[in-house]
Amino acid sequence: MSDLNPVIFQSICSNLDTGILALDNHHRLTFFNKWVADRLSLDTENILNKNIFDIFPEIKNTRLDSSINDAIKMGLPAIVSNIFNHSPFPLVKDTNNSEKIFQNINIIPVKQDSESYVIIQINDVSASIQREKALEEQARKRKKIETELRTTLEKLNHASAIKSDFLASMSHEIRTPMNGIVGLSQLLKKTHLNSTQEKYLNTIDSSVNLLLTVINDILDFSKLESGKLLLHKTNFNFNNIISHILDILDTEIKQKNLEVSVEIDNELYPQYLGDENRLKQIFINLISNAIKFTANGNISIKVQLLNQQTNHSNIKVTISDNGIGIEESIIPSLFEKFTQADSSTTRQYGGTGLGLAICKNLVVLMSGKIGVESTPGKGSDFWFEIELEKDSNTTTENPDNTQNAKISEQVFSGSILLVDDVMVNRLVAKSMLEELGFDVITAENGQEAVDLACSQTFKLILMDCQMPVMDGFDATRKIREMEDQTHIPIIALTALAMKGDDKKCFNAGMDGYITKPYKTEDLIAGIQEWL
Amino acid sequence: MGNPPVLSELEADLLNEIFNLGVGNAAASLSQMVKQEIKLSVPELNFFSIEELSETLGHNQLLSCVSQTITGAFNAQSMVIFPDKDSLEIVGKLLGENVSEESLAELQDEAMSEIGNIVLNACIGSLSESFASAFNVDLPEYVRSTPADLIEKKKLDGESLILFIRIELTLSESKITGYLAFLMGVESLSKLHNILKETLNKLL
């Protein structure tokens, strides 16, 4: 650089966004720029040519001091950061703001005509320090929240485990007496009743069915929520599903004088692979909702083929009604648990509010989607879309139905050992079995069952699981140990209806599994294969 | 590549002593600055080629490096090198436990620059005093990279040799190994050798 005009030099220095101080080799301040003057919290008038340590006694014996000396004596440049050296110069934001400035300082030795000078450059790093501090604060807060979340999660997991245990035991405790009610009311129907008694009995029957649905809903929902519900693939066709559902709901439809139309796309494949029971559950929930919220009018059930692929079909099912309809604002929360369109409808129409949440979860589990279009006062269209795998081993008739029809007319014979510790349960099962034509021998615990199985021959054993003295699992194991060539079918009759309970039965050596409460048809379905 | 100068036992001792004095002063300055006891020692001094340096430090090792160019009686690129993770440990220990990991990473460059500056200045000062010869020294520059990148960034020619000095930094019960490296051309190396000889002659 050639000789610089002092005016230009002054102007450059005045406009720098950095502080500049210059010292001679006797530590005298020979120059400071406007930036420094604006920020110095002391009188700047007479500081020129004064010793820097007299002007700023606070820097004596600091790293700044030794760095200045090294620069003068040995020409060593230095950086003096705010990290280790807190704000060495008494600089403030401005004359109105006495907040101290955080400083990063460079010390640059300069030699001219064998004279040593030192340039001190000061940068204001307050902004980045403040950012640092904010970051630090943020990190601290985040850590605190993380800890809190972890604790909450632990608590939740614990609560969830308690809930599962509670549901399992509740399920068992409720199913056992329900078995008595369902069975006995069925048996009672077959006795001579007057019309009033028959009416009362029908009411008991429908109340029990309702209660059973509620229990199953709650159990299903807790399984869905915990991800414990798995889909089981079977082959099925839509005609059978819908006619079965309409049979079940026949009484309610007739009571309300509703007209039901069914439209099934001809292009649908004859059989699909999917979880038939869970699909039925979705249908039954949507159709019974349509019935529940339609005072009089029509319900239509439509199954449409949306898209045909080589191995799959995309299918849309729509259940329409001309019932009370749903306000638009409520629709988004409709598929959440415990929601009904209007909280007052719980009282008017009944229900747990779990039905649609279960439907949504099931449809999502099947990788599909579910939704509703509705106009208040005019009705609702509930729909779901799923992709189903085509069943290439298609048979045209449903073997189940024809077999069921035959069996219900069939007369059975032979001797059955019935094991249950609860008197009511024994009474129900015994009456049902005797009516079907069986001879029934009863035992009250596993030990009695083992003894009887030793001394007599039975066609089949119906075994309760939880019993005093010896439970059903141990009794089954004992019986299996005694067998050599023979294999007597042992079917569990149990109120244990949670996931994994069936596995326990099979592991103990049982052949089948019937859950309480059951009806005569369920009993036949559960044992027919082994006769 | 040039051959490393063959130093006599006395010459090697003198050079070692100069650096020992330098790092000793650096340790004192650092200790005073952070109000913790810091020890620095020079257990080993070698001449390396660039390849050997890369091998010693690990080809893929990320390094934290502070360098200052010096010119004068001889020219060199002086550097303080620590493995990156160790430099983070040093900064962490110096700043205390109240600093979060995020902030530490942010402060690492600046803090290491100053630490490196103190160590290099002390060593350059010691060389300068022992040889009674002043150097022109640039402000420190901070680089984080692998050995190969480091040499690329410093634009060193293949002829350069490195005066390579292992240093041990002891700080609140941790012993951390770092390095001082003076990268020099052949000419500067022979100048250094001559200065060592002259200095010894004056002393003896």
Tokens 């460079």, residue located: A106
Return the structure tokens found at B203.
């002393």
Give phi and psi for A421, each to the nearest 5: -85, -15
- Looking at the partner chain, which of A70, A74, A132 has a beta carbon nearest the beta carbon of B103? A132
Q: Where are the alpha helices (DSSP H) in A420-519?
A: 423-436, 446-455, 472-482, 501-508
Note the CATH number of domain A238-390: 3.30.565.10
Q: Which residues contact A468 (CB under 8 A, 6 or more apart)?
A: A421, A445
CB neighbour class for A28 (10 Å; exposed up to 12, middle 13-18, buried from 19): middle
Q: What is the pLDDT of residue A46?
A: 86
φ/ψ of A365, rounded to 5, equals -60, -30
Distance CA B155, CA B162 (A): 14
Q: Among 3.30.450.20, 3.40.50.720, 3.40.50.880, 1.20.58.1610, what is the CATH number of A6-124?
A: 3.30.450.20
Mean pLDDT for chain B? 86
- What is the DSSP pairing of strand A115-124 with strand A19-24? antiparallel
| Among the listed residues A273, A433, A274, the one whose alpha carbon sits nearest the alpha carbon of residue A362 | A274
Q: What CATH homologous superfamily does A144-210+408-531 map to?
A: Response regulator (3.40.50.2300)
Cβ-contact A361, A224 below 8 angstroms: yes
pLDDT digits (tens, 9 = 90+) for A164-176: 677 767 777 787 7
Backbone angles phi, psi at A398, to 5 degrees: -90, 110
The structure's pTM equals 0.53
- Provide the pLDDT for residue A338: 55
d(CA A389, CA A311): 6
- Residue boundaries of the structural domains of chain A: 6-124, 144-210+408-531, 238-390
Q: Which CATH number does B9-203 carry?
A: 3.40.1550.10
Contact B133, B72 (CB under 8 A): yes
| Predicted confidence (pLDDT) per residue in A428-454, tens digit | 888 888 888 899 999 999 999 999 998
Q: For residue A235, what are the CA distances in angstroms to A122, A240, A276, A439, A486?
A: 81, 11, 7, 36, 33
Tell me the backbone φ, ψ of residue B198, rounded to 5 degrees.
Answer: -60, -45
The reply to whether residue B102 touches residue A135, judged by beta carbons under 8 angstroms, is yes
- A127 CB within 8 Å of a chain B CB: no
Give the residue carrying structure tokens 């009033």: A196
Q: Do B103 and A135 touch (CB under 8 A)?
A: yes
Per-residue pLDDT tens digits for A476-486: 999 999 888 88
Q: A48 to chain B nearest CA, in Å? A: 27
Contacts of A136 in chain B (CB under 8 A): 99-100, 102-103
Q: Which of A76, A85, A136 sits opposite B121 (nearest CB)?
A: A76
CB-CB contact of A383 with A304 (8 Å): no
The whole-number average pLDDT for the span A43-55 is 89
pLDDT, one tens digit per residue, over A138-197 is 888 988 999 999 999 999 888 877 776 777 677 777 877 888 888 888 888 888 989 888
Distance, CA of B73 to CA of A530 (rounded, Å):
105
What does the alpha-carbon distance between residue B195 and residue B33 come to, in Å, rounded to a whole number?
A: 33
CB pairs under 8 A between A and B: 71
Buried b (16+ CB within 10 A) or exposed e, B146-171: bbeebbeebebeeebbbbbbebebeb
| % of chain A with per-residue pLDDT over 70 | 91
In a 3-state reduction of DSSP, which class is residue B16? helix
More confident residue, B37 or A496: B37
Q: Which chain B residue shows the shortest CA-CA distance from A130? A: B103
How far B182 CA lies from chain A's nearest CA (Å)? Answer: 16
Closest Cα in chain A, distance from residue B91 (Å): 10
Q: Are A388 and A324 in contact (CB under 8 A)?
A: no
Do β-strands A29-32 and B161-171 pair in parallel, antiparallel, or remain unpaired?
A: unpaired
DSSP lists the bridge partners of residue B82 as B64
DSSP conformation class of A275: -
Between the alpha carbon of residue A397 and those of residues A267, A268, A281, A401, A404, the distances in Å are 18, 15, 22, 9, 13
Task: Tell me the per-residue pLDDT of A484-494, one tens digit each, with 9 for 90 and over.
Answer: 888 899 999 88
**Residue A407: is its pLDDT beyond 50?**
no
Among the partner-chain residues B29, B110, B138, the one whose CB lies closest to the CB of A83 is B110
Phi, psi dihedral angles at A471 (to 5 degrees): -80, 170
Per the model's pLDDT, the better-predicted residue between A408 and B115 turns out to be B115
Q: Which of B179, B158, B175, B172 is nearest to B116 (CA)?
A: B179
Give pLDDT tens digits for A246-302.
887 887 888 888 888 999 888 888 889 998 888 988 998 899 889 888 888 889 999
Answer yes or no: do B107 and A132 touch at CB < 8 A: yes
Mind listing the pLDDT tens digit for each residue in B76-93? 999 999 999 899 888 888
pLDDT digits (tens, 9 = 90+) for A342-368: 555 444 555 666 788 889 988 998 999
- Confidence category of residue B141, pLDDT binned at 50, 70, 90: very high
Does the pLDDT of residue A210 top 60, yes or no? yes
Q: How far is CA A23 from CA A29, A43, A45, A259, in A?
A: 5, 18, 17, 103
Mean pLDDT, residues A194-219 taken together: 80
Mean per-residue pLDDT for A382-401?
73
Give residue ranges of B with CB < 8 Å to any A CB: 29, 32-34, 68, 94-95, 99-100, 102-103, 106-107, 110-111, 113-114, 117-118, 121, 124-125, 128-129, 134-140
Quick check: A79 and B103 in contact, CB under 8 A? no
Q: How many other β-carbons are positioned within 10 Å of the β-carbon of residue A53? A: 14
Q: Which two tokens stand for residue A443?
A: 């035992």
**Mean pLDDT score, A450-470:** 90
- Compute the average pLDDT of residues B48-56: 83
Asked if A70 and B121 count as a contact pair (C-beta separation under 8 A), the reply is: yes
- Measured between beta carbons, which residues in chain B are less than 8 angstroms from residue A110? none
Nearest CA in chain A to B124: A76
Taking residues A506-526, report their average pLDDT. Answer: 86
Residue A385 has pLDDT above 90, yes or no: yes
* Substitution target from A64, A70, A107, A138 for chain B, most B beta carbons within 10 A: A70
